[in-house]
Amino acid sequence: MWKGRFSKATADLVQQYGESISYDWRLYKHDIAGSIAHARAQVKAGTLNQDEFEQIESGLKSIEKDIDEGNFDFSIELEDIHMNIESELTKRIGAAGGKLHTARSRNDQVATDTRLYCREEIDTITTQIKELQTALLKQAEQYADAVIPGYTHLQRGQPVTVGHHLLAYVEMFSRDIDRLTDARKRVNVSPLGSGALAGSTINLDRQQIADELGFDRVTTNSMDAISDRDYIMELLFDFALVGTHLSRISEDLILWCSAEFGFATLSDAHTTGSSLMPQKKNPDVCEITRGKTGRLYGNLISLLTAAKGLPLTYNRDLQEDKEPLFDSIDTLKIALAVNAEMIAEMTVNVDVCLAAASDPMLLATDLADYLVKNGVPFRSAHELVGQAVAIAVESKTPLDQIDLTKISEHYGADASAVFSLETALKARTNPGAPSIKNVKAEVARWKKTL
C-alpha cells in the first residue's frame, strides 16, 4: 500500500511486530459495512459510477460470506483486516476495487470499525447484564423473607433478608447498564470522512455515511476524530466496574458456601472437586471471576498508559487499543453468562440463615432505638446497650436473657419485646430498608423494569 515510496520490502520481523490481523480480523463485518457506505457516498460525489459501486458491494459481500464460513485466508503481510479485505476485493473485481480507498485513510477506517464494533458489544453486554439481574431477581423473590445477618467489617451487624441482599446487586448492575447506555452515546459518532488527519479535498457526504451506518452524528474535528480512543478507555472502565460487582458477589457466595457460613449451596454443575480430597466442592466459578476482574483492571491501565503521552494525531501506539478491548469484552461476556447460570441454580439454606440471624446481638441497635423512643439521647442509649453487650459477652449469656432493668431504669419490662426478628424487620419501612413488604415491592418493581 506504500510501495511507491519505499525501495525495500518490509522486514519479516517488522511485519510480525506490527501486524494486527491476528486479532483485528473480528472487525470484518464492521469494516465491510463501513466500506459499502463509503462507496455509496463516492457515487454521490462522482468518484465511482453505479456499476463500479455494485461491483464493490457484491465483491465485499462475497468476501464477508467467505469469512463467515471460514473460507478466507488472512495474510500477515497485509497487516490488518482493512488491507486484507481491500486486497482481496481488488483481486476479485479488478480496477474498481482500487478506487474504494478514495478520500479515506486507514486512520478513519479503523476508528469507524472500532466504534461500530463497540456499539454492537455494548448492546450485547447490556442484554447479558439484564439476564444476570433476572437471575438475581428470581432468587430475591424466592427468598424475599429468608432472614439473614447483614454484615459490616465481615462482622454480624443487623438482620436483613436474602432478597434484600441480592437486590443490592441488582442495583449495582443497573448502574452498570446506565453507564454503558450513556457511553454508547459517545461511541455512536461517525469519524469516517476525517481521512488521515485533515479530511480530503474530495468531500463525501459524511452525514449520509453516518445515517447508513446508524450513527447519531458525525465528528466535528478531524484531528480529534482519528486519534480519539476516549470511548474505548471509558468502556474498559465500565467493564472493569462490572467486574468489580461480579467479584463482590463472588466473594459473598464463596463465604456463603463455606462450611463456616453454610448459607447457600451451588449446583454440582457450577462447582468442581479436588483431585486429592474426595469431600471437596469448590466454588471455582466465583474464584475465577475474582481473578478475571484483575484482568479487566489491567486492560484499562494498559490503554490509559499507551495513550497518556501521545501527540496529535494518529500514532501507531494506538494499535494497542484493540487487544485490551477484545480481551475485556470476551472475558466479561463469558463471566456474565456463567454467573447468571450459576446464580439461577443456587439454593439458599434458609434454616441455617435463620439460625445465624437469630443471634440477639443483631438487635442491639434496635435496643438502642427503644431507649431513644423512651427519651434517652442516642449517645447515652448507645452506652447503655454497650454495657448490656459487655455483660452478655463476659457472662456468655445471650443478650436477650440479660436482666436489662439492673443496668438502667430506662429499660422497662417491655424492652425484651425488641428481640423479635419479625418485629425488627417489620419496623424497617423507610424506602430502601429491608422490611419484607419493602423487599417484595422492590421485586415487583424490578420485574416490571426488566
* Residues belonging to the active site: 153, 274
Cell numbers at 113, concatenated = 470499525
Tell me which H or E stretch contains 139.
helix 106-142
Cell numbers at 273, concatenated = 472437586
Paired residues of 158 in beta bridges: 150
97 close to 166: Cβ distance less than 8 angstroms = no
Question: Which of 346, 370, 378, 176 shows the shortest CA–CA distance to 271?
Answer: 346
Per DSSP, the residues of 237-265 read HHHHHHHHHHHHHHHHHHHHTSTTT--EE
Q: Which amino acid is at 336?
A: L
Question: Which of 201, 203, 198 shows the shortest CA–CA distance to 225?
Answer: 198
Cell numbers at 283, concatenated = 466454588
20 close to 79: Cβ distance less than 8 angstroms = yes
CA atoms within 13 A on the CB side of 192: 37
213 close to 34: Cβ distance less than 8 angstroms = yes
Paired residues of 217 in beta bridges: 189
Q: Which residues lie below 8 Å from residue 349, measured CB to CB, with a gap of 6+? A: 262, 263, 264, 265
Q: How far apart are CA 106 and CA 232, in angstroms?
A: 18
Paired residues of 152 in beta bridges: 155
Question: Which of 26, 208, 223 shows the shortest CA–CA distance to 108?
Answer: 223
Tell me which H or E stretch contains 26.
none
Question: Which of 188, 189, 193 shows the shortest CA–CA distance to 218?
Answer: 189
Q: Which amino acid is at 188?
A: N
Query: Within 10 A of 436 (CB to CB), how many other CB atoms are there?
Result: 18
Q: Which residues lie below 8 Å from residue 80, measured CB to CB, with a gap of 6+? A: 19, 20, 21, 24, 106, 110
